[in-house]
């Protein structure tokens, strides 16, 4: 390839600053060639280096005695779940690719996160996701929504992994820049943890998986710049193309190879492809690596070193094998009918050396590429818009005049409505481990013997059955709350995830987060990020749910401005006894309904209506302050609930979130889908007394935090209320389960909703919009 002159314009095209280019010159002592410039461009992108966020991420709690692999050490964190078993889990974004090519962008997001998990030696057992889109009134938004959901379903269903949990929000701030965050969890034994380090000078380096093509070229760099119509069109080739069947074969072959003990290091080719996998494994191992590109399987004719190194073609892995054991790789990958190639060797030079036709086309220090990207302390300042949103006065808007219509309307908004149109496209039961499917506060998975990767044939416990474990998974985040108060919004995202786990009977194990924010060069947007991370960290520390890893996705904005700052939190919990698994819908006629937590936070000037779904729906406002999150009171509530669940006296538990108390009560009545399109509707009779100075809309639709609705046998009412009083935990009886309607008496007024009508609007809302 003719050598290309490195010009200031070429440097800018690679998203590198003059200062960064000067640092490259200093680090390598010469001018880079075009291939080396491309390598630095992707490795020093925000997506790979976290150069704008690394100082913030250090504030996360990452260590507890149960953490076996901490955040930042490997592709995913790993946490002990007892009896020699562990879980690996992580969430990552594929936002920009999904905006350009929604089907393939979302599909390859799923494929990428699955590879992160089995690279750790774990067998993936479930997937989840968090999605954000603009207003569904827009045909373009519907196109993106349809494509993303189809892509997620295609990859997960074909691969054979259940998609069990998630969340979907719709807001105009995400117009043109949807968020697609993909989560995966896998299980393994402690001794099966694999590492992504190139160790052992002289060990051969193998490329396994399909050939390298020109798809996904420089995708990491594309994800680290503002998304505009021009950049999207230019970077359409940066979207990868996925093959879930190939990935399934690749996973099985890799797990089988790991069981032989011949693997010295393993790394998937995700962001930055062959570049990232080679330099990161060398950096982790404190070694060097040398590869010959002629030996790399290639799909396209005449591919240049630049293209081969920066391609993000999917389903590819890099494996370092103990010298003399090469035939095991060949035997196993031939058995699975998968391509393989021995492309290089581990060295002791500390350099990543890339050859093409026998000539060196890149010779760079691996550790400097992987670990010594520039780190920036970005300027931050409180956004000016907050002075306006905080001036909002509830007295300027009228109280509700028609609660019956308001509840029906809230349940029929796409953000609150049932997401069955989404999750019915996902196989949520494949592998027969799903205990609680999508539709309750948290999904619940059973970890059984066949969930685990195989042990070596010589292992004495190869065929030994393991004790079943039960895991709960919840994904949460509310961008409107973070927009109005990033610190409180960050805390609330974690608290709601923990509350959802508590409602299912689970104790939190750990957290993974995806930080979706705008351009970090804007001080106001960086302030949002900094404050949100502070809130996330404080809450994770309080709930003893360490952050095991995650992803930062910046530059999420469209020509109208940045998205609402949206940290997504995925939390995993452990349920000790399957008898304690709890769901959100009412169970038995005559059960007593209790509200745990304060009816309304009267110290909140907005009475829970700040940033609420009701305020947005009825008044088209995103103003005020979000509901306050009291971490001490939250944890006390969760601990008490788990205690009562362990005693077998809680029949259902459901947290109050978007839409407030009235929406939560309605969901308890209508969300029990016993089979597809076959729901069991259970009525309730509720009596509420409005506290002094509290508005009716705040009472019914305010989103005061730290509240859970439970149903219990009548014989336990006195016991729970008495224990709650001793704990200083607000709790009161608000009604009974029974009848065919939702009846709500507020002071002297009585409101009644037909459950069939409520269910129809809630269950069919998105379906009617998408199929009309």
Residue pointed to by tokens 């002990």 = 80
- Domain annotation covers residue 238: yes
499, 572: one domain:
yes
pLDDT at 300: 86
363, 400: one domain:
no
Q: Report, as an integer, the average pLDDT of 153-174.
A: 98
Mind listing the pLDDT tens digit for each residue in 7-62?
A: 999 999 999 999 999 999 999 999 999 999 999 999 999 989 999 999 999 999 99
- Domain annotation covers residue 718: yes
Cβ atoms 485, 175 nearer than 8 A: no
Q: Report, as an integer, the average pLDDT of 425-431.
A: 96
544, 619: one domain:
yes
Q: Report, as an integer, the average pLDDT of 492-499.
A: 98
- Domain annotation covers residue 210: yes
330, 472: one domain:
no
Domain end position, chosen among 346, 373, 400: 373
User: Which residue numbers are catalytic?
Assistant: 47, 94
202, 286: one domain:
yes
DSSP letter (8 states) at residue 212: B
- Domain annotation covers residue 83: no
Per-residue confidence band for 220, with pLDDT thresholds at 50, 70 and 90 = very low
496, 552: one domain:
yes
**Residues near 511 by beta carbon (within 8 Å), at least 6 away in sequence:** 494, 497, 540, 545, 546, 547, 548, 569, 570, 571, 572
- Containing H/E element for 125? strand 123-133
pLDDT at 227: 57
Residue 215 has pLDDT above 90, yes or no: no
The percentage of residues in the chain with a pLDDT greater than 90, rounded to a whole number, is 92
**Residues near 7 by beta carbon (within 8 Å), at least 6 away in sequence:** none
298, 413: one domain:
no
612, 516: one domain:
yes
Residue 1 has pLDDT above 50, yes or no: no
Mind listing the pLDDT tens digit for each residue in 708-757?
A: 999 999 999 999 999 999 999 999 999 999 999 999 999 989 999 999 99
How far does CA 339 lie from the centroid of its chain?
31
Residue 221 has pLDDT above 70, yes or no: no
391, 468: one domain:
yes
332, 474: one domain:
no
DSSP letter (8 states) at residue 720: H
- Domain annotation covers residue 567: yes
pLDDT at 327: 97
pTM here is: 0.96
- Domain annotation covers residue 29: yes
CA atoms within 13 A on the CB side of 524: 11
pLDDT at 675: 80
Q: Which segments of 604-695 does DSSP mark as H helices, in order?
A: 613-619, 631-646, 660-670
pLDDT at 226: 58
Per-residue confidence band for 177, with pLDDT thresholds at 50, 70 and 90 = very high
Residue of 495, 498, 643, 636 whose CA lies nearest to 572: 498
Q: Report, as an integer, the average pLDDT of 527-549.
A: 98
Domain end position, chosen among 317, 342, 373: 373
Average pLDDT, rounded, for the chain: 95
Mind listing the pLDDT tens digit for each residue in 584-620?
A: 999 999 999 999 999 999 999 999 999 999 999 999 9
- Domain annotation covers residue 129: no
437, 332: one domain:
no
Residue of 767, 678, 536 whose CA lies nearest to 53: 536
Q: How far, in Å, CA of 123 to CA of 126, rounded? A: 9
pLDDT at 464: 84
Residue 676 has pLDDT above 80, yes or no: no
Q: Report, as an integer, the average pLDDT of 216-239.
A: 55
Domain end position, chosen among 373, 397, 418: 373
Helices 34-43/273-285 angle, 10° precision: 70
Q: Report, as an integer, the average pLDDT of 358-377.
A: 94
pLDDT at 546: 98
Q: What is the CATH number of the domain that holds 339?
A: 3.90.650.10
Count of structural domains within the chain: 2
CA atoms within 13 A on the CB side of 214: 8
322, 424: one domain:
no
Q: Which domain holds residue 364?
A: 1-60+196-373
Per-residue confidence band for 2, with pLDDT thresholds at 50, 70 and 90 = low
pLDDT at 272: 85
- Domain annotation covers residue 311: yes
The dihedral region occupied by 620, where left means phi > 0, alpha psi between -120 and 50, and beta the remainder, is left
Per-residue confidence band for 238, with pLDDT thresholds at 50, 70 and 90 = low
Distances (CA, A) of 595 to 301, 496, 637: 66, 16, 11
pLDDT at 264: 97
């Amino acid at each position: 390839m003719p050598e290309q002159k490195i010009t200031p314009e070429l440097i800018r095209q690679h998203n590198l600053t003059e200062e960064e280019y000067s640092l490259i010159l200093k680090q390598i002592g010469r001018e880079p060639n075009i291939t080396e410039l491309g390598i630095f461009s992707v490795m020093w992108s925000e997506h790979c280096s976290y150069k704008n966020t690394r100082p913030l991420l250090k504030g996360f709690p990452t260590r507890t005695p149960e953490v076996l692999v901490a955040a930042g050490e490997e592709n995913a964190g790993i946490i002990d779940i007892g009896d020699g078993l562990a879980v690996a889990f992580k969430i990552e974004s594929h936002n920009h690719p999904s905006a350009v090519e929604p089907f393939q962008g979302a599909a390859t997001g799923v494929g990428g996160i699955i590879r992160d998990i089995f690279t750790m030696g774990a067998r993936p057992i479930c997937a989840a996701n968090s999605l954000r889109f603009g207003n569904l009134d827009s045909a373009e938004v519907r196109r993106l929504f349809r494509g993303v959901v189809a892509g997620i379903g295609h990859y997960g269903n074909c691969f054979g992994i259940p998609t069990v949990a998630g969340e979907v929000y719709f807001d105009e701030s995400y117009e043109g820049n949807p968020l697609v965050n993909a989560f995966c969890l896998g299980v393994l034994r402690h001794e099966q943890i694999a590492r992504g380090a190139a160790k052992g000078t002289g060990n051969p380096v193998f490329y396994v998986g399909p050939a390298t093509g020109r798809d996904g070229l420089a995708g990491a760099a594309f994800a680290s710049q503002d998304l505009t119509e021009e950049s999207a069109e230019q970077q359409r080739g940066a979207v990868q193309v996925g093959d879930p069947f190939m990935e399934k074969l690749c996973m099985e072959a890799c797990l089988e190879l790991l069981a032989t003990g011949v693997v010295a290091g393993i790394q998937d080719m995700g962001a930055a492809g062959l570049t990232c996998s080679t330099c990161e494994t060398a950096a982790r191992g404190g070694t060097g690596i040398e590869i010959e590109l002629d030996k790399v399987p290639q799909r396209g004719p005449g591919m240049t070193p630049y293209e081969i190194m920066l391609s993000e073609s999917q389903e590819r892995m890099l494996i370092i094998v103990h010298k003399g054991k090469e035939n095991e790789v060949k035997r196993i990958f031939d058995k699975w009918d998968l391509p393989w190639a021995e492309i290089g060797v581990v060295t002791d030079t500390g350099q990543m050396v890339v050859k093409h036709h026998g000539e060196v086309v890149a010779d760079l220090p691996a550790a400097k590429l992987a670990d010594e990207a520039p780190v920036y302390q970005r300027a931050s300042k409180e956004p000016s818009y907050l002075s306006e949103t905080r001036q909002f006065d509830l007295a300027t808007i009228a109280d509700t005049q028609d609660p019956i219509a308001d509840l029906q309307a809230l349940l029929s908004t796409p953000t609150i409505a049932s997401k069955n149109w989404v999750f019915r496209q996902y196989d949520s039961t494949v592998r027969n481990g799903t205990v609680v499917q999508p539709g309750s506060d948290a999904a619940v998975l059973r970890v059984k013997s066949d969930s685990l990767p195989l042990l070596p044939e010589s292992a004495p416990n190869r065929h030994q059955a393991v004790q079943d474990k039960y895991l709960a998974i919840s994904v949460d985040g509310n961008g409107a709350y973070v927009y109005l108060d990033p610190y409180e919004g960050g805390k609330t995202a974690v608290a709601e995830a923990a509350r959802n786990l508590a409602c299912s009977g689970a104790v939190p194990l750990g957290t993974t987060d995806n930080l979706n924010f705008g351009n970090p060069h804007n001080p106001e947007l960086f302030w949002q990020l900094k404050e949100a991370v502070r809130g996330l960290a404080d809450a994770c520390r309080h709930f003893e749910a360490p952050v095991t890893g995650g992803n930062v996705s910046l530059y999420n904005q469209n020509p109208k401005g940045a998205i609402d700052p949206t940290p997504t939190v995925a939390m995993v919990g452990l349920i000790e006894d399957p008898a304690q698994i709890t769901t959100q819908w009412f169970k038995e006629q005559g059960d007593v309904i209790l509200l745990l937590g304060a009816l309304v936070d009267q110290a909140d000037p907005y009475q829970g209506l700040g940033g609420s779904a009701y305020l947005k729906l009825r008044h088209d406002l995103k103003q005020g302050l979000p509901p306050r999150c009291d971490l001490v009171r939250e944890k006390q509530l969760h601990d008490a609930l788990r205690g009562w669940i362990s005693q077998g006296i809680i029949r259902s538990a459901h947290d109050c979130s978007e839409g407030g108390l009235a929406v939560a009560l309605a969901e308890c009545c209508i969300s029990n889908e016993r089979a597809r399109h076959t729901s069991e509707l259970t009525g309730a009779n509720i009596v509420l007394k409005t506290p002094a100075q509290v508005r009716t809309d705040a009472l019914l639709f305010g989103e005061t935090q730290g509240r859970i609705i439970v149903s219990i046998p009548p014989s336990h009412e006195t016991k729970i209320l008495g224990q709650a009083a001793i704990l200083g935990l607000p709790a009161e009886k608000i009604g009974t389960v029974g009848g065919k309607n939702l009846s709500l008496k507020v002071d002297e007024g009585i409101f009644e909703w037909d459950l069939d009508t409520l269910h129809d609007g809630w269950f069919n809302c998105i379906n009617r919009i998408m199929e009309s």
